Amino acid sequence: MDLNTPLAHRVRPKTLDEFVGQEDILGKDKILYRTIKADRLSSIILWGPPGCGKTSLARVISETTKYKFIKLNAVTSGVSDIKNAIAEANNLFLNPTGKCILFIDEIHRFNKLQQDALLPFVEDGTVILIGATTENPYFEVNKALISRSMVFKLNPLKKEDIFKIVKNAIQNKEGLGNYNIKIEDSTLEKLSEVSNGDVRTALNGIEVAVLTTIPNQNGVIEITDEIIADSVRKRKALFDKSGDSHYDNISAFIKSMRGSDPDATVFYLARAINGGEDPVFLARRIVIAAAEDVGLANPNALVVANAAMQAVNVIGMPESRIILSEAAVYVANSKKSNATYLAINKALEDVQTKDTGEIPMHIRNAPTDGMSEFGYGVGYKYPHDYPNHQVEQQYLPDKMLGTKYYVKDENIE
């Protein structure tokens, strides 16, 4: 056992039967399980958060396939590495099949040129691509590669899956089985919970706990709740302000305000703040929600949101969290109306796609007397000269007469 190799690497599964979790795509009746078992794999993209088993699944495939298996990491590899891999695959003396399985970790890190370099070899079957990514491949991976691959979404591991993996790591001789460890199942359950679906976090935590705890007089390493908490430190947050989770979290934040759920609103706001999201960006989203989703049902929401955005610009973090919370909860608790949002969208659509006619002459601008000779401003009725400061006259072009854009709903007083 090489103690310099991380525990997460030492205890990775070698066969499908050893793989824990992801039953929805790796159950014995599922297509991915069957194709791996039969060694009939086509190009695939494995998409999921850190520590969910993407690299472990690739290792299982490497142990079961008859094809040459080549691994690259997109962070450190370039086009020359891709060409070298293709040359290896095409060397019939060393590789009689003429094919290879090329595993590219962090494939979203490849730029367009690097991804394009793969395409002809995936297309002609020289390369069976396995791409692993934490980002949404439909945004980050070449559409031509996506169309030639099956995309499998891996989810964060369940608490019970992580418990099983860590328990095995403690008992496995390739893991921590050579140590005399005493740890309660309840402590392992807390470790599984705090790892938030990332088995690597759990394994790193237990390894740090074991290696930094001095054995008692009987040579036993006792791992307590406190030691685990200190080894893992803060609960891992599944949030990356520059990644796919950024879009998911901000979407959930906006929809929680729109859905009038203040608790969910504050929860997703907290996730964003904890993940290092720009507070000004969050304030702008609150302003937009105040206009789009609250609108005229409570016009004061826009005032509050705009004041919050200005205050956040001046105050900064960490105090801005209070300002953001106040504004977001106010918007969430406000009555909702999207009447003005629908009105401007419908009007823009008409302006962009229809012949909407000419502005009526009587409401056109007539800055000089000479223009009135051409009908500019002639016949305009000044509303303040009439009872209740209103008067009936035509404002819409002839071709748009009768069109309704703003429809007052029940939440607008």
* Distance between CA atoms of residues 218 and 205, nearest Å: 24
Helix (H, G, I), strand (E, B) or coil at 223: strand
> Is there a single domain that holds both residue 115 and residue 29?
yes
AA identity, residue 170:
I
Residue 137 has pLDDT above 90, yes or no: no
Tens of pLDDT, residues 10-24: 888 888 888 888 888
- Strand-pairing partners, residue 407, are none
HSE-up (13 A, CA, CB side) for residue 293: 20
| pTM, two decimal places | 0.65
- Position 225 scores a pLDDT of 87
* Distance between CA atoms of residues 19 and 24, nearest Å: 13
Residue 293 covered by a domain: yes
In terms of Cβ atoms closer than 10 Å to its own Cβ (0-12, 13-18, 19+), residue 108 is buried
> Is there a single domain that holds both residue 280 and residue 388?
no
Residue 195 covered by a domain: yes
Residue 9 covered by a domain: no
> Is there a single domain that holds both residue 149 and residue 163?
no
Question: Which range (115-129, 235-249, 328-342, 398-412) has the least confidence?
Answer: 235-249
> Is there a single domain that holds both residue 314 and residue 355?
no
Q: Which CATH number do you get for residue 358? A: 1.10.3710
Residue 241 has pLDDT above 70, yes or no: no
Of 176, 210, 232, the domain-final residue: 232
> Is there a single domain that holds both residue 144 and residue 195?
no
- Position 239 scores a pLDDT of 54
Instruction: Assign 286 a pLDDT band (cuts: 50, 70, 90).
Output: very high
Element housing 380 (H / E): none
Residue 155 has pLDDT above 50, yes or no: yes
> Is there a single domain that holds both residue 276 and residue 388?
no
Residue 239 covered by a domain: no
Residue 267 has pLDDT above 90, yes or no: yes
Contact 329, 266 (CB under 8 A): yes
Tens of pLDDT, residues 374-387: 788 888 898 998 99
Of 208, 232, 256, the domain-final residue: 232
> Is there a single domain that holds both residue 304 and residue 186?
no
Q: Which CATH number do you get for residue 322? A: 1.20.272.10
* Distance between CA atoms of residues 282 and 356, nearest Å: 38
> Is there a single domain that holds both residue 249 and residue 370?
no
Residue 8 covered by a domain: no
Of 181, 207, 232, the domain-final residue: 232
Q: What value does the mean pLDDT of the chain take? A: 87
* Distance between CA atoms of residues 225 and 203, nearest Å: 15
Residue 194 covered by a domain: yes
Q: What domain range includes position 266?
A: 244-333
Question: Which range (225-239, 267-281, 354-368) has the least confidence?
Answer: 225-239
Tens of pLDDT, residues 67-115: 888 888 888 888 888 888 888 888 777 777 778 888 988 888 888 888 8
In the chain the first and final C-alpha atoms are separated, in Å, by 74
Q: Is the peptide bond before 318 cis (omega within 30 degrees of 0)?
A: yes
Q: Which of 285, 289, 294 is nearest to 338 (CA)?
A: 294
Q: What's the mean pLDDT in 228-257? A: 73
Residue 138 covered by a domain: yes
> Is there a single domain that holds both residue 82 and residue 139?
yes
Instruction: Assign 410 a pLDDT band (cuts: 50, 70, 90).
Output: confident
- Strand-pairing partners, residue 74, are none
- Position 93 scores a pLDDT of 75
Residue 15 covered by a domain: no
How many domains does the structure of the chain reveal?
4
Q: Which CATH number do you get for residue 128? A: 3.40.50.300
- Position 312 scores a pLDDT of 93
Contact 125, 99 (CB under 8 A): yes
- Position 235 scores a pLDDT of 47
Residues in the chain: 413
> Is there a single domain that holds both residue 122 and residue 227?
no
> Is there a single domain that holds both residue 87 and residue 198?
no
> Is there a single domain that holds both residue 33 and residue 113?
yes
Q: What's the mean pLDDT in 266-285? A: 90
Q: Which CATH number do you get for residue 184? A: 1.10.8.60
